[in-house]
Chains A and B, each alone.
Chain A
Amino acid sequence: MSTSTNEAVLSQSRLVWRAFKRHKLAMAGLVVTVLTYLVVVFAGFIAPYDTEHFVADRTYAPPQALHLFGDDGFGPHTYGQRATQDPETLDITWTTDTSRRIDIGLFVKGSEYSVLGLTLDRHLIGPVDPSQTVYFLGSDRTGHDIASLMAYGARTSMTIGLLGVAIAFVIGITLGGISGYRAGKTDTAIQRVIEFFMSMPTLPLWLGLAAALPTDWSALQRYFAITLIVAVIGWTDLARVVRGRFLALREEQYVTAARLDGSSAARIIRRHLLPSMSSHLIASLTLSIPGMILAETALSFLGLGIQAPDVSWGVLLQESQNLRAVTTAPWLLLPGLAVIVVVLALNFLGDGLRDAADPYSR
């Protein structure tokens, strides 16, 4: 093959990247994931308002459409909204008031926020007049901007996954690694522990643990507690994977060769076993983040995870527990859509990584 001379010197990461690029869905997943994490970092900049901002008399307001061409000439703008209440049913109906034009600009002044240690007051997009409130994705029961809440909610939802996975990762690799390398009695003992954890019904356990959290804990304490709870269950799958790979790898001839070279167990694990499954680890990590996100969403949705006024996608979805609210304001389901998109993106990304993980397997 003409590529063989080239491949001779390519490092593993380059080969993985080449295989990964062929996987179109995974590339899409990667783009979505990167964009989402950009939102996490720059939530304050991207969100038009902060989480405190609300307009008390504009509840359940529908999304306001963005226009470019209007009667008053070119320029991004939207129109004001007017509420009419049905005197009999007391239902509020919102209509667009085209007589009131609200100009929209990029990098407009707004409330202060801090990002990467800087305190700024410019927002990516918003009304040119800071006293106006525009709901790009509608408002909720209390008149908060859903778009802003979702941006801030991504912070909690997306990072709780990372932290949970990191904790699960350490426990999983350590216990799974010992189990796979030592085999025999140690293996049996650790596997029984794993089975014990796996046999516990997850949802009731989370509920129990979350309900046991003291109510007077601060938001931050709660956040870490939830991460831990989610991680306690999450490590078992990874431990199983690591153990399985180690059991297979320790029979490889090159591992035997290393042992005959005089390498110690620690050196064999560090230099031969872990590197040969690093790509698999990355893939399984990516695949376990969605699980964590879903777990947090589920807990918060049931009111036992993150609690208002802190926002996460699960907290936002609490609003849509009420069928009436959903029928009058379907945009309340948008955080659910965000969860679906992000979870799918991470799954595609993980699949792509797993397929690309071993460039030498041919």
Chain B
Amino acid sequence: MILKVENLRTRFHHHDTTVEAVNDVSFDLPRGTTLAIVGESGSGKSVTARSLLQILDPGGRIEHGTAMFTSDPGGESIDLLSLDPRGPEIRAIRGRQISMIFQEPMASLSPMYTVGGHLVEVLRIHLGLDKAQAWERGVRLLAKVGIPQPEARMTSYPFQLSGGMCQRVMTAIALACEPRLLIADEPTTALDVTTQAKILDLLDEIKATEELSMLFITHDLGVVARVADTVAVMRDGDVVEHGEVDQIFHDPRHDYTKHLLGSRPTAWKARSRVTSPVPEDQAPPRIAAVDDLYVTFDGQVHAVRGVSFDIYAGETLGLVGESGSGKTTTGRCLVAAQKPSSGDITYWDADGAEHDIAALGKRALKKLRTQVRMIFQDPYTSLNPRMTLLDIIADPLRVNGLAKGGEIKERVARALETVGLHPDHMNRYPHAFSGGQRQRVNIARALITEPRLVIADEAVSALDVSVRAQILELLQRLQEELGLTYLFISHDLSVVEAICDRVAVMRYGRLVEVNTTAALFSDPQEDYTRELLDAVPVPDPRLYAS
């Protein structure tokens, strides 16, 4: 046992309110293994990790508990929680015996220092090396974390590196003093899926060669299945279940664990509809078409380069790609929020009349925008915090003169009910609602004008898994009830697989492949699609057991 945590309780005091972030949590971490702490936002998983190193945010206090850390087998155990947070003992442990990597690799590195500067500083402080020795060792560390041309990279600044490279550098810094325990707090959440796969491979490899133990914090069940030996499931500050990874995934005991596993898009897909609305033998009616679309920003950045696809009435078309692939820009062109540099975007209205979106006049554009609506990614910034739900949802009605007087309230109430919110809450402000509820408000605002085509731009990416499942179900139910067509933009292939009829894959502003979901996932035609699919961590530990 390298780490044995018992009855850890951490609270946050803020003005007159107290939040119990971690509530009598106990777990242990056998030497040389990985323990994954998994939970949704606010479950206390990060606070648990930070409590161990006593690096809590202001207001946080460890109320009681022990965390026995045994650096070397047979060696002396130290209770981490009994050490003075500012004292020399904990500082000797932090970074030296236990080190940590964080979610935002870019934000964790100072833009004022080179990669070499970061590494040399750590090595000199903790190991007392001189400058030349530290430099040489830094180069070896970079080589170890798989950075090509490590000598040249030592003089690079963080902003010259990609996110994945930065995370490798962070890992190199974390490994600099040959720690016994590595705490990784959502280390791959901010990365693209192919980059994530590479970082996870790297951590695996390092764990094996360096005899590291790892505490891995994540919300992603796929990642858990991939990296963990044991798992602790957290909810509202409690560990609800703690066990071997195989048992957690295949024989979950606690209801919440079952609920989490049931929220996985793959599990949830079984319940989704089976019939595709697009008949295979006849040409279905199109609702929109993108033809040879180019978007260039400032004459230099080519965001979209020659993309063409059709959207059929009644279907859900998934648009997937990693960051910078141009998928969001394409979506913005469809709602005329972005002017294309060249190419055509056509929309067919309910009467079958054809409209060129890029060339619409002011009035026609206003009309189009009631029929083609957008659902935004971030449930926190997409609602004006100073307006009540009524005003937010009614705004499109008022602006477009679609309803008057009492009818407005009636329609807002109905819209709230449709998305599963209580109509009585229409006079409340957005801050009173959770992320999932806010996303429902977003959907209500999009649907209030009775649109035909809805662009959902990463509409569920910011949500916790269980909430995500509810929102996806809601979207699908609404599609069936209202005959909606979706363009579903996402980086998350598992979600896309679960709800889309067809999928278009984008990379570097180009369309890589378009196919029906089943065909694309079972038989990808392009190398990139295959790479993308392979990179997605599958939430089943047995697949990684070998």
Q: Interface of A with B (CB < 8 Å)?
A: 1-5, 7-9, 12, 22, 252-254, 256-263, 267, 271-272, 275-276, 360
Tell me how far the C-beta of A278 lies from the nearest C-beta in chain B, rounded to whole angstroms.
9
Interface residues of B in 107-154 (CB under 8 A from A): none
Tell me how far the C-beta of A4 lies from the nearest C-beta in chain B, rounded to whole angstroms.
7
Cβ contact of A262, chosen from B369, B378, B385, cutoff 8 A: B369
Separation of A262 and B395 alpha carbons in the complex (Å)? 9
Given contacts A262-B399, A275-B386, contact A257 B376 (CB under 8 A): yes
Tell me how far the C-beta of A36 lies from the nearest C-beta in chain B, rounded to whole angstroms.
31
- Could you pull out 24 A-B pairs where Cβ atoms are within 8 angstroms? A1-B17, A1-B19, A2-B17, A8-B428, A9-B428, A253-B376, A254-B384, A257-B374, A257-B376, A257-B445, A259-B337, A260-B337, A260-B373, A261-B400, A262-B365, A262-B366, A262-B399, A263-B395, A267-B399, A271-B395, A276-B384, A276-B386, A360-B385, A360-B431
Q: Which residue of chain B has its CB nearest to the CB of A267? A: B399
Interface residues of B in 363-406 (CB under 8 A from A): 365-366, 369-370, 373-374, 376-378, 381-387, 392, 395-396, 399-400
- Other than the given A4-B432, A9-B432, A262-B365, 19 more pairs (CB < 8 A) read A1-B19, A3-B17, A8-B425, A9-B427, A9-B429, A12-B429, A22-B15, A252-B381, A253-B382, A256-B376, A257-B374, A257-B382, A260-B369, A260-B373, A261-B396, A261-B445, A262-B399, A272-B384, A360-B431
**In the complex, chain A residues whose CB is within 8 Å of the CB of B80:** none
Tell me how far the C-beta of B27 lies from the nearest C-beta in chain A, rounded to whole angstroms.
27
Separation of A8 and B438 alpha carbons in the complex (Å)? 13
Q: Which residue of chain A has its CB nearest to the CB of B402? A: A262
> A8, B400: Cβ atoms under 8 Å?
no
> B381, A254: Cβ atoms under 8 Å?
yes
Separation of A258 and B400 alpha carbons in the complex (Å)? 11
- The answer to whether B3 has its CB under 8 Å from any CB of chain A is no
**In the complex, chain A residues whose CB is within 8 Å of the CB of B383:** 254
Q: Which residue of chain B has its CB nearest to the CB of A19? A: B15
Cβ contact of B432, chosen from A7, A252, A254, A262, cutoff 8 A: A7
**In the complex, chain B residues whose CB is within 8 Å of the CB of A4:** 432
**In the complex, chain B residues whose CB is within 8 Å of the CB of A8:** 425, 428-429, 432
Separation of A22 and B335 alpha carbons in the complex (Å)? 45
Q: Which residue of chain A has its CB nearest to the CB of B392? A: A254
Tell me how far the C-beta of A309 lies from the nearest C-beta in chain B, rounded to whole angstroms.
49
Separation of A276 and B385 alpha carbons in the complex (Å)? 8
Cβ contact of B369, chosen from A1, A261, A275, cutoff 8 A: A261
> A256, B431: Cβ atoms under 8 Å?
no
Tell me how far the C-beta of B173 lies from the nearest C-beta in chain A, rounded to whole angstroms.
32
Given contacts A7-B432, A254-B383, A254-B384, contact A261 B15 (CB under 8 A): no
Tell me how far the C-beta of B406 lies from the nearest C-beta in chain A, rounded to whole angstroms.
21
Tell me how far the C-beta of B444 lies from the nearest C-beta in chain A, rounded to whole angstroms.
12
Q: Which residue of chain A has its CB nearest to the CB of B428? A: A8
Separation of A257 and B395 alpha carbons in the complex (Å)? 10
- 4 closest pairs, A vs B, by CB? A8-B432, A253-B382, A261-B396, A262-B366
Separation of A257 and B392 alpha carbons in the complex (Å)? 10
**In the complex, chain B residues whose CB is within 8 Å of the CB of A2:** 17
Tell me how far the C-beta of A213 lies from the nearest C-beta in chain B, rounded to whole angstroms.
44
**In the complex, chain A residues whose CB is within 8 Å of the CB of B427:** 9
Separation of A351 and B337 alpha carbons in the complex (Å)? 39
Q: Which residue of chain B has its CB nearest to the CB of A258? A: B395
Q: CB-defined interface of B267-287 with A at 8 Å, one 1/0 digit per residue?
A: 000000000000000000000
> B395, A261: Cβ atoms under 8 Å?
yes
Separation of A262 and B19 alpha carbons in the complex (Å)? 42
Separation of A190 and B383 alpha carbons in the complex (Å)? 31
Separation of A246 and B421 alpha carbons in the complex (Å)? 32
Interface centre among B376, B377, B386, B392 (most CB of A within 10 A): B386
**In the complex, chain A residues whose CB is within 8 Å of the CB of B392:** 254
Interface residues of B in 37-82 (CB under 8 A from A): none
Q: Which residue of chain B has its CB nearest to the CB of A9? A: B428
Tell me how far the C-beta of A22 lies from the nearest C-beta in chain B, rounded to whole angstroms.
7
Separation of A63 and B399 alpha carbons in the complex (Å)? 66
**In the complex, chain B residues whose CB is within 8 Å of the CB of A276:** 384-386
> B15, A262: Cβ atoms under 8 Å?
no
**In the complex, chain A residues whose CB is within 8 Å of the CB of B337:** 256, 259-260
Q: Which residue of chain B has its CB nearest to the CB of A12? A: B386
Interface centre among A256, A259, A261, A360 (most CB of B within 10 A): A261
**In the complex, chain A residues whose CB is within 8 Å of the CB of B399:** 261-263, 267
> A262, B429: Cβ atoms under 8 Å?
no
**In the complex, chain B residues whose CB is within 8 Å of the CB of A5:** 432
**In the complex, chain B residues whose CB is within 8 Å of the CB of A256:** 337, 376
Separation of A245 and B399 alpha carbons in the complex (Å)? 24
Tell me how far the C-beta of B393 lies from the nearest C-beta in chain A, rounded to whole angstroms.
10
**In the complex, chain A residues whose CB is within 8 Å of the CB of B428:** 8-9
Q: Which residue of chain B has its CB nearest to the CB of A251? A: B381
Tell me how far the C-beta of A8 lies from the nearest C-beta in chain B, rounded to whole angstroms.
3
**In the complex, chain A residues whose CB is within 8 Å of the CB of B400:** 261-262
Given contacts A2-B17, A3-B17, contact A262 B382 (CB under 8 A): no
**In the complex, chain A residues whose CB is within 8 Å of the CB of B374:** 257, 260
Separation of A275 and B387 alpha carbons in the complex (Å)? 9
Separation of A267 and B376 alpha carbons in the complex (Å)? 21
> B370, A262: Cβ atoms under 8 Å?
yes
Q: Which residue of chain B has its CB nearest to the CB of A254? A: B384
